[in-house]
Amino acid sequence: MEKEIIIKFGEIFLKGENKYKFEKLLLEDIKNKIEKFGTFEIKQMGSVFSISGENLDSIVSTIEKIFGLSSFSVAWKTEKNIDDIKVAALTEMKNTPAKTFKVEAKRADKHFYMNSLEICQTVGEHILDNMNIKVDVHNPDVILNVEIRNDAYIFANKHKGMGGLPIGSSGSGTVLISGGIDSPVAAFMMAKRGLKLNAVHFSTPPFTSQRSVDKVKRLLSKVAEYSGNIKLFNVNFSEIQKEIKSSCSENLVTIISRRFMNKIAQRIAKYEKNSCLITGESLGQVASQTVSAMNCTSHEVDIPVFRPLIGFDKSEIINIAKKIGTFDISIEDFEDCCSLFSPANPKINPILKFVQLDELKIKNSDVLVDNAIQNCEICDIS
């Protein structure tokens, strides 16, 4: 009798003839994330994966962060005979504090000589004969699962998976990342839908310090626990920001700055063969996130711009940030380029044609964009 981890898929089972592609990506993601903990063998058994190896407990917290799983369990693996199953079931229940229980059985192997009801009755009687515990079929403290596959698997623990889709199954995208609360959450949410992530950050030295860049790297490290490696492009935005500040109407500085950020991010995304941009915008949260403002900032972008937080309240965003571990980093007090150059009275409902005209006041804008991209710093975040 030994232990294995049984992994059950999430949405993958809905993918029909393409299911095998999603399963392959999920398998690769699992391998990549657990290999640093030791040597493990991963096998597929129909609609589940099993992981065997030493020190399985060391990878539980990592598996909890893998997208594409509905649930997983650390299970006892035995031969497919009822005596071995009863021994494993009793061992599992003795290690699981409970006053009431029920047994649920699943026969993926329909050739097994007992049906599901007979398995439940036989295992349940064995536990009642050997423990001071009661059966409650409606609201038990513990559900003991017996699954008959290539072998028999017995478990009482069931960890909830992250859901979503395997990383890379939806392509790749570039997230505009700041040091705030919202954009790391947006990155996490789109990674959960299967996007492989790159990130673009805009810094303005000497107005912002290296500590603000380090903060962004730490935020992305938290996201990368779920999404896998992220390539970060740190763009020096100082010259562009100064030109906007000196040339454009004060109340349009933020809008025009964001237009340049989107143009630069799109160029980087296309170079990296990413199919979309991702932002942390939430409708009406600040002056630059009204409907007309967002229309102005992304008007020249010709790839999709995903805004996964668009209908979220701030409290909802904060709850996710706390869950994924980015909140405490995000609230550290380092200035970013947007807040430093934000006007006192920003235009709330800008009109596109007037924004475009105002932007024309900036000389050599294409050269400024080219220089910013050519001189950006690139690093890998894991």
Q: What is the mean pLDDT of the chain?
A: 94
Distance CA 211, CA 194 (A): 31
pLDDT at 20 > cutoff 90: no
Angle at 291 between CA 286 and CA 293, to 5 degrees: 65
Please, what sign has the CA dihedral across residues 199, 166, 157, 140? positive
Band of pLDDT at residue 84, cut at 50, 70 and 90: very high
pLDDT at 14 over 80: no
Domains of the chain: 2-163 (3.30.2130.30), 172-381 (3.40.50.620)
Query: How does residue 287 score in pLDDT terms, banded at 50, 70 and 90?
Result: confident
> Which tens digit of pLDDT belongs to each residue from 232-272?
999 999 999 999 999 999 999 999 999 999 999 999 999 99
Q: Note the pLDDT tens digit of each residue in 299-332.
A: 999 999 999 999 999 999 999 999 999 999 999 9
Confidence at 10, pLDDT banded by 50, 70, 90: confident
Residue position matching structure tokens 């009863």: 86
User: Which pLDDT does position 338 carry in this prediction?
Assistant: 58
pLDDT per position as a tens digit, 328-361 = 999 998 666 555 567 777 888 999 999 999 999 9
Task: Cite the beta strand spans of 270-337 per DSSP E.
Answer: 277-278, 305-306
Mean pLDDT along residues 268-282: 97
Give dist(CA 29, CA 10) in Å, integer.
14
Structure tokens at 213: 């860049």
For the stretch 45-59, pLDDT in tens is 888 999 999 989 999
Strands (E), 134-252: 134-135, 142-148, 152-155, 159-163, 172-176, 196-203, 230-236
How big is the chain by its Cα radius of gyration, in Å? 26
For the chain, give the percent of residues with pLDDT over 70: 97
Q: Determine contact, residues 1/75, Cβ cutoff 8 Å.
A: no
* 196-203, strands of its sheet edge to edge: 305-306, 277-278, 172-176, 196-203, 230-236, 377-381
Residues whose CB falls within 8 Å of the CB of residue 295, separated by 6 or more in sequence, listed in order: 352
Q: Output the pLDDT for position 12.
A: 73
Whether 15 shows a pLDDT value over 70: the answer reads no
281 has a pLDDT exceeding 60: yes
| C-alpha angle 358-362-366 in degrees, rounded to nearest 5 | 120
Smallest CA-to-CA distance from 362 within 212, 279, 244, 204 is with 244
Which residue, among 367, 324, 84, has the nearest Cα to 183 in the 3D structure? 324
Q: DSSP assignment of 181-214, as one string?
A: SHHHHHHHHHHHTT-EEEEEEEE-TTTS-HHHHH
